[in-house]
């Protein structure tokens, strides 16, 4: 049986398209719907209860368009809302995204890893449980990088570009201190940040691995569709 209903994605803004693109590469036959809550972007510093309310409004819009699965393509919304959403909409599979601290900690040679995310993500249960479980033996530099969210949104509006001096200087001022502190992995813990990946890698240099969870989240979404017989074949 083939299920041709769309897979829904949402984020506070354009960030989650990093996951959408990975999913489209993996599942080109699937229909997708992407919602950006640009009226309320950024989510990063909002209280969790407000992020739950905003996320639920996005979910309701996607369900009104008959989505068969929802990818919460936002670390901040996942941290605040995914537990609630899974209970409130038990018939809908939800896929979330959280900072990939585990692979970074496992592969670090210097014993120092950096995580870039929002305050909301750092305050959430998922990040703190994963860190306590898998990153006990490394030093984790947790850095809030709201400037990157603002930068990605402004470039999406056509203001500036990834190659200009402003972008370089915003990225350099966050990334250079992490490299100087010995970080050999930089975890992109916000879906806006993969849009800056090449710039981050250029500033960090070849000895630093940039950990982007987009492909793994897309693979998980595909796995769950297959398990539940929801694939569009």
Residues belonging to the active site? 74, 190
43, 94, 122, 127: residue in contact with ligand DGL (rule CB under 6 A): 43
Least distance between ligand DGL and beta carbon 218 (Å):
15
Closest CA relative to residue 193, chosen from 34, 8, 9, 44 = 44
Q: What are the two backbone dihedrals, phi and then psi, of residue 56, each rounded to the nearest 5 degrees?
A: -65, -35
| Given 44, 96, 124, 194, the residue binding ligand DGL (CB under 6 A) | 44
DSSP 129-195: HHHHHH-TTSEEEEEE-HHHHHHHHHHHTTSS-TTSHHHHHHHHHHHHHHHHTT--EEEE-STTGGG
| Smallest distance, ligand DGL to C-beta of residue 118, A | 5
Minimum CB separation of residue 149 from ligand DGL in Å reads 4
Subset of 138-197 contacting ligand DGL (CB under 6 A):
149, 190-192
Q: Burial of 233 by CB count in 10 Å (0-12 exposed, 13-18 middle, 19+ buried)?
A: exposed
For the bound state, the minimum distance from the C-beta of residue 72 to ligand DGL, rounded and expressed in Å, comes to 9
One of 8, 12, 144, 200 touching ligand DGL (CB under 6 A) = 12
Of positions 34, 69, 72, 75, contacts ligand DGL by CB under 6 A: 75
- Is the peptide bond preceding residue 48 cis, with omega within 30 degrees of 0? no
What residues line the site for ligand DGL (CB under 6 A)?
11-12, 15, 41-44, 74-76, 118, 121, 149, 190-192
């Amino acid at each position: 049986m083939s299920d041709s209903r769309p897979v829904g994605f949402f984020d506070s803004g354009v960030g989650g398209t990093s996951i959408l693109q990975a999913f489209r590469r993996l599942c080109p036959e699937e229909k997708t719907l992407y919602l950006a809550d640009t009226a309320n972007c950024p989510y990063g510093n909002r209280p969790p209860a407000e992020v739950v309310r905003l996320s639920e409004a996005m979910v309701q819009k996607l369900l009104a368009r008959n989505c068969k699965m929802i990818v919460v393509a936002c670390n901040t919304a996942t941290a605040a809302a995914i537990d609630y959403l899974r209970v409130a909409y038990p018939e809908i599979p939800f896929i979330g995204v959280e900072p990939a601290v585990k692979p970074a900690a496992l592969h670090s040679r210097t014993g120092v890893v950096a995580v870039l995310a929002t305050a909301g993500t750092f305050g959430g249960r998922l990040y703190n449980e994963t860190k306590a479980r898998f990153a006990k033996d490394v030093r984790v530099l947790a850095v809030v990088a709201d400037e990157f969210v603002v930068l990605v949104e402004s470039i999406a509006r056509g203001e500036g570009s990834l190659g200009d001096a402003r972008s370089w200087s915003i990225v350099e001022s966050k990334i250079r201190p992490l490299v100087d502190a010995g970080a050999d992995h930089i975890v992109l813990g916000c879906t806006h940040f993969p849009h800056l990946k090449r710039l981050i890698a250029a500033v960090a240099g070849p000895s630093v691995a940039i950990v982007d969870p987009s492909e793994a989240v897309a693979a998980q979404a595909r796995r769950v569709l297959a398990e539940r017989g929801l694939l569009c074949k």
